Structure 1
Amino acid sequence: MSLLAQLYALWWLLLTAIFVLYLTGKYRKYNRLRHFNGPFGTGWSELWHSCVILSFHSHLAYKEVNDKYGPIARVGPNELVTSSPELLAHMNAVRSQYTRSYWFNTATRVEPGKDHVFSQIDEEKHTKRRQQMAAGYSGKENLSLEPDIDGRLNELLNLIRSKYISTTAGSKPMDLARKVQYFTLDVISTIGFGEAFGDLQADTDLNDYIKSGEQGLSVVAISAALGLTKYLQWPPIARLLGPSEKDQSGFGKMMGVARKLIDSRLEKSTEGRSDMLASFIHHGLSKEELFSEAVLQVLAGSDTTATAIRSAMLYLIAHPRVYYRLQAEVDAAVHSGAAPIATSIVQDTTLRNLPYLQAVVREGLRIFPPVTDVVPKKVPKGGDRVTVEGKQYYLPGSTDISYNAWGVHHDKAMFGEDADYFRPERWLPEENKTNEDKLTAMRRTTEMIFGYGKYQCLGKSIAWLEITKVVFEFMRHFDWALAQPDNPWKSTNYMGIFVQEQMWVLVSERD
């Protein structure tokens, strides 16, 4: 046999060996999770999962999967998704051995190779960073937190009153989705940097921060769906394709502004200061860590809180019974003196004592969770045995298990047969005839909207404060109607974060 013929034979032998090894690897992956059912092909390929993420309505697809295949279902060769609150609590508990998964969290890095509190997958470093930041987020070392929010809310109310009041003489449609995001951006920049971006006063997306943020979310979704994260975050490619702090607008501009503000603050003493940045500096965050966390605040803190406010207002306007009952509670608080006069913003101490407002906000978060990211957790080495809904499951080590937010918060077994409908009274035990244990379980479940245990959102209390204040003041000062009830908004889900626009409303001044 000639040398050429021998090489040819070896070539085909090599190809055959590679193909056999490929099929063997595929079969092993399939076999590990063969006891879990899921859509066709998910045991062999990531195609279904990639298509779901790229559909930009992944929250609905995950719910359909768990509704059809049970509380734990397969969505990829090594991926499961669950709608079980008990399993989620088990995985996220403070002493849990489950860890974060690379493919999802790392895709959210602001800069290649540099982690913030959400992208960090090293458990020890993550715990340390949370401890360093907790006081700043809680308000214990950020005494100007509520006044800062009040200042931005006054600007929002003044913007609506000065430019967007509709009367019998004419309508002035307002895109509530945009105005609310101007508010949340200005709030987060004020409490995070000490200086508002100024969108509310300008009534525009200054420097295209919102536009570039949406573009960034789409890039994160596409890179994660196609498995491109490790390539796009390779420094040479990131420098070539990513934003630059020298950009004159967009995300790069925002990064540049953040860098300058942080540099300026580091040159001054933090003695006597009580804002969030001062707290972070006091607890030992480095210059680069401050930068990553500050930019994360803007990206994560503005979109999610804006979505919560929009959805609460949308469901309120669409349910007149709830709308007028909440308005009556707000008016009663004002007339009794519990809330301040109209020129001042209601305080948190008053909001906490308004049961129907609290029920409306909680129900708004439940019916339309503002964050549906799957935040997968990796099963510890050696695997784990869990009991879900009375049935035992074995979870192989290194399996990724994702969170099905829509399924969890629309679960009829937990919230009743009308779980797909907006009814704040389900949170009022005296009206819903719900025993205390059941109500506690419901509340604990909805708390998962903000994460749970060692992964709970640090900004939870800030978000709740913003939402309740805005809803109260909106109901106190204005009457609301949908300008286009047949098409109330345009909503897109970028791997768990909603981008919403064109929520046209008609606002009239209350007597």
Structure 2
Amino acid sequence: MAFGYGGKDNDNLEAAIDREILVFVDLLERKYLSTASEYRPVDLARKVQYLTLDVISALAFSKRFGYMEKDDDLYSYIEMTEASLPAMMFLCLFPWLAKVLQSPVCRRLMPSERDPVGFGRFIAVAKQIVHERLTSDQPKRRDMLGSFLAHGLTREEAEGETLLQVIAGSDTTATALRTTMLYLMSSPAAYLRLTQEIRVAAAEGRISSAVVTDAESRELPYLQAVIKEGMRINPPVAGTMDVVVPEGGDTICGYSVPGGTEIGCSEFGAQHLESVYGPDADVFRPERWLEAEAAAKEGGQPDIDRLRQMNLTWGLIFKAGKWQCLGKEVALIELNKVFVELLRRFDFTLVNASKPWNSMNAGIFIQSDLFTKITRAEPL
């Protein structure tokens, strides 16, 4: 599946993301832009998830859901996913419970493709999309689904991966966008510095006028620091993401662990380690990345080792090695573009700084009701 996720079998991956971002910008400008005479608060958390759902559907099977055009939670998918996430995470910790629920006695309690809304509805959508592709005259067209089929996935495997893409590819990226925007709006110095970097780059012609390219975004050092820091301070996936110790066992942190044992780690704990990130590890401070890079360039081996340790620890957000998230690069391209396009066009203010959002669910930590006032960007 790496060919599809990595873009090698998708010639228009970046262009497809660009189109969805422009639709998102248009939605905000048409319906949620406040002026001196008109106040239009927007639930930015919910709108961001509309964006990520349309992006992943456009990339995955060239058939976008259309959340942003409808400006609505289609099939009540988001509402029902938020409600069921704690149960999903509980089942991940106790796999034998999942087997019980899949038994004939309990199966009728589980989501079904016959459901008109919610998770079951998306099971039906996934199956329908794969069926339409397999019966079309171009089943292996150059998108993610086409790549999966070209590299040997069966119908059932393609249906499962299509469904997983919708959940994993939208909720996690949306959470990274939401929390980073929250911390930026709550940190005036960081917000101002990032905004200035983006708007100066736009004024000097260093970023494209329509939608910034991924390569251009990677040349904005403070933006890269903000993205890293936002994902570090609140990792998009809170689960332990276990792996299984191979037969014969292993030694982990000095402990002998038998084969078959599930091993995981707390990402919230790992990403707040003072031994890695410094005594202010609980503070949102993007400058720590720029300081570490500067020290590594000018200093000796200890500074080089510290930067390497920071990057390796941060990389655990996507897991590592053969377990690394296949969608990592797609998510980073999306993040690189969205922050630039939002902050060069608009200014953002929290409506209620004392209660920025109303609900936080365990697991993927979906946040709802991030009410924000959006105004047109002030000139430099």
For this structure pair, what is the TM-score category when the shorter chain's length is used for normalisation? over 0.9
Which residue of 209, 212, 229 corresponds with 1:363?
A: 229
* In 2: Cα distance, 1:471 partner to 1:181 partner: 14
**Aligned ranges 1:30-49 → 2 under 5 Å:** none
Matching residue of 2:299: none
Shift of 1:376: 2.2
Does structure 1 retain, via aligned residues, the 8 Å contact 2:17–2:55?
A: yes
Matching residue of 1:421: 283
* In 2: Cα distance, 1:374 partner to 1:357 partner: 28
Shift of 1:325: 0.8
**Aligned ranges 1:145-160 → 2 under 5 Å:** 145-160=13-28
Which residue of 292, 302, 311 corresponds with 2:170?
A: 302
Which residue of 98, 113, 132 corresponds with 1:229?
A: 98
Shift of 1:235: 4.1
* In 1: Cα distance, 2:104 partner to 2:217 partner: 47
Does structure 1 retain, via aligned residues, the 8 Å contact 2:86–2:361?
A: no
SS of equivalent to 2:106: helix
Shift of 1:307: 0.3
* In 2: Cα distance, 1:225 partner to 1:290 partner: 25
Matching residue of 1:462: 330
Does the C-alpha gap of structure 1 residues 281 and 224 become closer, same or farther in structure 2, counting only changes over 3 Å?
Answer: closer
Matching residue of 1:372: 238
* In 2: Cα distance, 1:225 partner to 1:454 partner: 22
* In 1: Cα distance, 2:83 partner to 2:293 partner: 45
- Unaligned runs of 5+ residues in structure 1 are 1-132
Does structure 1 retain, via aligned residues, the 8 Å contact 2:133–2:139?
A: no
Question: Aligned pair count?
Answer: 371
* In 2: Cα distance, 1:478 partner to 1:352 partner: 21
Does the C-alpha gap of structure 1 residues 182 and 443 become closer, same or farther in structure 2, counting only changes over 3 Å?
Answer: same
- Quick one: which amino acid aligns to residue 265 of structure 1? R
**Aligned ranges 1:159-170 → 2 under 5 Å:** 159-170=27-38
Shift of 1:381: 4.0
Q: Normalization by structure 1: what TM-score?
A: 0.69
Does structure 2 retain, via aligned residues, the 8 Å contact 1:316–1:322?
A: yes
Matching residue of 1:510: 377
- Quick one: which amino acid aligns to residue 411 of structure 1? L
- Unaligned runs of 5+ residues in structure 2 are 297-302
Matching residue of 2:207: 339
SS of equivalent to 1:428: helix
SS of equivalent to 1:508: strand
* In 2: Cα distance, 1:272 partner to 1:169 partner: 52
* In 2: Cα distance, 1:444 partner to 1:430 partner: 13
- Quick one: which amino acid aligns to residue 274 of structure 2? K
Does the C-alpha gap of structure 1 residues 377 and 261 become closer, same or farther in structure 2, counting only changes over 3 Å?
Answer: closer
Which residue of 483, 490, 504 corresponds with 2:358?
A: 490
Deviations 1:73-95 (A, max 9, x none): xxxxxxxxxxxxxxxxxxxxxxx
* In 2: Cα distance, 1:233 partner to 1:463 partner: 32
Shift of 1:181: 0.4
Matching residue of 2:39: 171
**Aligned ranges 1:71-110 → 2 under 5 Å:** none
Matching residue of 1:353: 219
Does structure 2 retain, via aligned residues, the 8 Å contact 1:189–1:197?
A: yes
Does structure 2 retain, via aligned residues, the 8 Å contact 1:491–1:498?
A: no
User: Which stretch of structure 1 is more off in the superposition, 454-463 or 167-176?
Assistant: 167-176
SS of equivalent to 1:507: strand
Cα RMSD for the two superposed structures: 1.9
SS of equivalent to 2:347: strand
